């Protein structure tokens, strides 16, 4: 869409758009673009929240008032917090206690092994359709690298683009795996499980906290996780076992 907007502008048609990957917008330099910190595949935020979505659309349309570009504006709000009033049935038994000696790398890899069969079932049901694949590396490799960064406390990062795509793939993998399990699959309930009951949610909350400690990285912290999700995220290292 960034490339298409250049052609339309040459014909005298004003354009505006929404970007989920800020680095792409910086590189493509579209005439007008609104960057949002939402997950890939959800440029307007949480599904079924018309008021919030209208706000995003209005902010993108307001860029049409800018006579010249390129204009890249940052949307100042995160998507609304997930409702924690219900949770999906979850046959996966997340450990009551984790092996601290395994570190973040080991815990994320172990959780990946628990979720992988459910993700494979999700792929069969969806006939291969998936939101996983933004990163050039596979999910397990990305999770292990993320764990190594946390274990070694290696922040700030030297490859922000990789990190953004890796985290989006990891979240998409986990959500698709959770929705393949038996029971109700309300989006908000699945988000609750992700942020409150998984090692991935705990790891992303830890990344968010570390980014927040440096004023230069606080904007990037919103890419890692919405503030509301981080506030709701429990300590996954002390998870109680999910109900079957």
| Domain, as residue range, for 70 | 2-74
User: What's the per-residue H, E or C state across the chain?
Assistant: CHHHHHHHHHCCCCCCCEECCHHHHHHHCCCEEEECCCCCCCCCCCCCCHHHHHHHHHHHHHHHHCCCCCEEEECCCCCCCCCCCCCCCCCCCCCCCCCHHHHHHHHHHHHHHHHHHHHHHHHHHCCCCCCCCCCCCCHHHHHHHHHHHHHHCCCCCCCHHHHHHHHHHHHHHHHHHHHCCCCCCCHHHHHHHHHHHCHHHHHHHHHHHHHHCCHHHHHHHHHHCCHHHHHHCCCHHHCCCCCC
**pLDDT tens, 107-119?**
999 999 999 998 9
pTM strictly above 0.85: no
Report the number of distinct structural domains present in the chain.
Answer: 2
Same domain as 107, residue 28? no
**pLDDT tens, 195-234?**
888 999 999 988 888 888 877 777 777 778 776 666 655 4
Does 197 map to a domain?
A: yes
Does 155 map to a domain?
A: yes
Same domain as 173, residue 64? no
């Amino acid at each position: 869409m960034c490339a298409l907007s250049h052609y339309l502008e040459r014909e005298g048609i004003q354009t505006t758009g929404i970007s989920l990957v800020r680095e792409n917008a910086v590189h493509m330099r579209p005439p007008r673009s609104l960057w949002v910190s939402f997950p890939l595949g959800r440029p307007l935020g949480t599904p079924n929240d018309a008021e919030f979505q209208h706000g995003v659309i209005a902010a993108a349309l307001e860029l049409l008032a800018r006579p010249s570009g390129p204009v890249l504006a940052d949307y100042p709000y995160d998507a609304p917090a997930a409702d924690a009033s219900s949770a999906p049935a979850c046959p996966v038994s997340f450990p009551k206690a984790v092996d601290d000696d395994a570190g973040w790398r080991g815990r994320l890899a172990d959780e990946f092994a628990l979720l992988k069969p459910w993700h494979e079932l999700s792929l069969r049901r969806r006939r291969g359709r998936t939101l996983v694949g933004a990163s050039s590396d596979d999910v397990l490799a990305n999770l292990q690298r993320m764990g190594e960064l946390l274990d070694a406390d290696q922040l700030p990062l030297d490859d922000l683009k990789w990190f953004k795509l890796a985290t989006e793939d990891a979240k998409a993998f986990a959500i698709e795996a959770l929705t393949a399990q038996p029971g109700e699959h309300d989006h908000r309930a699945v988000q609750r499980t992700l942020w409150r009951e998984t090692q991935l949610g705990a790891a992303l909350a830890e990344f968010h906290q570390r980014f927040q400690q440096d004023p230069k990285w606080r904007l990037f912290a919103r890419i890692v996780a919405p503030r509301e999700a981080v506030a709701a995220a429990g300590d996954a290292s002390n998870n109680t076992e999910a109900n079957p």
